[in-house]
Structure 1
Amino acid sequence: MHDIPLIVHLIYRLDFGGLEALLVERINRMPAERYRHAVVCLTQADPAFATRITRRGVTIHALHKQPGLALSTHLRLWRLLRRLRPAILHSYNLSAVEYGPVALLAGVPVRISGAHGRDADDPHGRNRKHNLLRRLMAPFYDCCYANSAAMEAWNRSVIGVQAAKSRVLANGIDTERFHPRQPDDAVPPGWPFAADDIVIGSVGRLQAVKDQATLLDAFALLRERLPTMRDQLRLAIIGDGPLLLSLRERAVRLGLADAAWLPGARQDVAPLLRHLHVFAMPSIAEGTPGSALEAMASGLPVVGTRVGGIPEVVDDGVTGTLVPPSDAAALAAALERYVAVPALAARHGAAGRERVLRLYGMAAMVAAYQQLYDSLCERKIRTGRAVTSCAE
């Protein structure tokens, strides 16, 4: 068993989120005879979410990092890596990037850093201290990939990641789980809307970078623009996060108490998506938007902002509509087109599912990550002729 290389996945916290969900999918789907897996959380793991890992033998470790520098976390991680003896350390996002040197000192031969988005407090990547840290850490990694072309271009131009160490690894979607609505689909528990309501929805963590506040404003404008359909128009904002209470209060102030549903975290996202009519993604920054891909796989047209990786996913005028960020009027106008012309929504939704099937299948994502692991292990472990990182 221990002849099979071990991958340590280093993340801030194992909890409900897009990055974490795709990490679990890769662990569950990667051939068991190729790699073993361990998840190391800098803080802690949510027990309910951890049950999604169905692959046998996966261990989860929590370092219980405190806010701030917390140098003792580096020592705890070094000790853990010395005990686990992984072939690969795979760190995710800014919160874990600083541990590349720890992995080098612990003797981990392959080190990978993934950029799946920027920090919520720095959505456009302009924080000088954060970028300096990324630049200082890049030499300790053999590959610094991104999950969108826009993020990779930023990695290379702003952070200075070498072309030989850079690549794009796009997100993947389970197109069997996320599929268009069928006649016999049951109504999800707690669904508050009537069968003839027109439901606009969004799924994501409720934080400033996702800008659900603008979606609420746009929905209020939409109801003013379509007074004859006002009583049919409904909004579902699904997800949890620090802004949940303030967004609920904003909905009340806008007169949307009976029209907007903010249920918090839900584990039944796939059936919820199948009961929407249009999907909205009002982010002000984004990597490859997994929730938009899930919506497209579910046969929904997507109205998204023209930021980050969203234009790579949403084909404007074919699978959805792109609008400027933080522009409630433009978002309302785009939503109105789909509400007013259901045939257009159906056509763009069908094109979106076809695009996901062609470009963003789960199998393709797992294969791309496995190929990265294989190629780096071959170069640095099996042949002994390592193309080393410049820290070595």
Structure 2
Amino acid sequence: MNDQLCIASPNLAAYSETFIKDQIAQLQPGTLIYEGNYPIHSKEEDWQLPFPFNIHVVRGITKKLAPGLFHRIYSRSLADYLKRRKVTTLLANYGPVGVSVADACVMANVKLVVHFHGFDAYEYNTLAKFREAYRHMFTCAHRIVAVSTEMKEELIKLGAAENKIAFIPYGINLERFTTTDPSVNGPLLINIGRFTPKKAPDLLIRAFKIVHDALPDARLKMIGGGELLEDSKALATSLGLSDVITFAGVQSSEEIIRALHQSRIYVQHSLRPPSGDSEGTPVSILEACACGLPVVSTRHAGIRDAVLEQVSGLLVDEGDVEGMAKDIITLLKDPALCKQMGAAARARISENYHFPVQAAKLAALLEV
């Protein structure tokens, strides 16, 4: 247990944020606060805002009508709590959370490390709301974590000092995500993640239509939920693919590993949608690589760090449906190449994304 470490996160239960759960499990913080961009609950249940701001309705009204007043009350209360808990370092997950806790960290003489993950560095509405606040937060922060080299460049553009930014990608537990031999698996493609615009499930389905027309034995399994799930099912039906695409819903980590071990290729068409949202580094791609699967995806965000083109996978430009289909067909027709690229994918993860190594880098950065 790192008694002097506090981790702040918007929530603790999102199934798609396994990286935060792994982070908490590895770092073992003595203090954990959560719930929204202004975390107001402690896991230890030994802190709440002073009355009447501990009442949800009052908090909401105050944040809306007098945000400056709420921020000052919040910062003073959190600073007192951090002092009482003898916290020396606070790790804030996501930029907006870093903004909320920055002044409290200054008051409590606590080192602030802000971990960016994706949308918080890219999405236009988020940047419009927090751009100025980010600049203040960057000056308060001891260090800033980026999960891809592209994200590091974005944070510099937003005003972060380059010497404060550490590139620490997510790590994968190689003891859990063991290897398969894709060359002996059937022609099954697998995709894992939320059905959101930045993952463009519609473009993946359209690419698969081309694949299935060329190779009728091909199948696609899509694991996850999200706001575009029903639209994706309707698209599959309209394209005559409802019998060859399985929408498996949200699944446990164990079920995901079994599915990866049954597949030949991992596929994902990530892109930057009109909202400006972006991946950081998709954990699902790292997990697939760890299992020894070749990847067909896009030249997007941290995917370009994780997947070596023509070595551990094939990448196309964002929006290139025909190019993606062509690459998938190439691999489906060549099981030996799948095996070769899958072995290179596993090696890439072992060398650059092994969880204990990345966790140790983060712990060293936090000085805990």
The TM tier, using the shorter chain, reads 0.7 to 0.9
Deviation at 1:95, TM superposition (A): 3.4
Equivalence for 1:113: 114
The one of 202, 205, 211 equivalent to 2:200 is: 211
* Structure 2: distance between partners of 1:23 and 1:205: 16
Query: Any stretches of 5+ residues in structure 1 without a counterpart?
Result: 46-56, 184-194, 378-392
Q: Distance in 2 between the 1:196 and 1:352 partners?
A: 17
TM-score in terms of structure 2 length: 0.83
Superposed CA offset, 1:91-137 (max 9, x none): 122331321334236515111111111249x5479944443332232
Contact between 1:6 and 1:38, CA under 8 Å: does it hold in 2? no
Question: Retained in 1: the 8 A contact 2:37–2:97?
Answer: no
1:1-392 equivalences under 5 Å are: 5-18=3-16, 20-30=17-27, 36-42=30-36, 59=44, 70=64, 71=67, 72=70, 75-76=73-74, 78-84=76-82, 85=85, 86-104=87-105, 106-119=107-120, 123=123, 127-156=127-156, 158-181=157-180, 197-224=186-213, 226=214, 229-230=215-216, 232-267=217-252, 268-284=255-271, 285-374=278-367
Residue identity matched to 1:344:
L
Amino acid at match of 2:77: R
Q: Is the Cα–Cα contact under 8 Å of residues 22 and 171 in structure 1 kept in the other structure? A: yes
3-state SS of the aligned residue for 1:133? Answer: helix
- Specify whether residues 258 and 292 from structure 1 end up closer, same or farther in structure 2 by C-alpha distance, changes over 3 A only: same
Distance 1:269 1:6, change over 3 A: farther
Equivalent residues of 1:100, 1:140 under 8 A apart: no
Kept in 2, the 8 Å contact 1:103–1:111? The answer is: no
Residues 158-216 of structure 1 show CA distances to partners (whole Å, capped at 9, x for unaligned) of 11211221111111000111112389xxxxxxxxxxx9742111111111011111101
- One-letter code aligned to 1:302: V
How far, CA to CA, are the matches of 2:336 and 2:361 in structure 1? 36
Within 1, Cα distance between the matches of 2:43 and 2:186? 44
Return closer, same or farther for 1:99/1:126 CA change in 2, 3 Å cut-off.
Answer: closer
- Rounded to whole Å, the distance in 2 between the matches of 1:303 and 1:212 is 14
**2:9 touches 2:97 (CA, 8 Å); kept in 1?**
yes
Q: Percent same amino acid at aligned positions?
A: 25
Write the letter of the residue equivalent to 1:320: G
Q: Is the 8 A contact 1:94 1:118 kept in 2?
A: no
Cα pair 2:181 2:339 within 8 Å, conserved:
no
Q: Matched residues in 1 for 2:174 and 2:14: separation?
A: 20
Aligned residue for 1:308, secondary structure, equals coil
Residues in 2 aligned to 1:169 and 1:304: alpha-carbon distance in whole angstroms: 22
Instruction: Look up the equivalent residue of 2:10 and give its one-letter code.
Output: Y
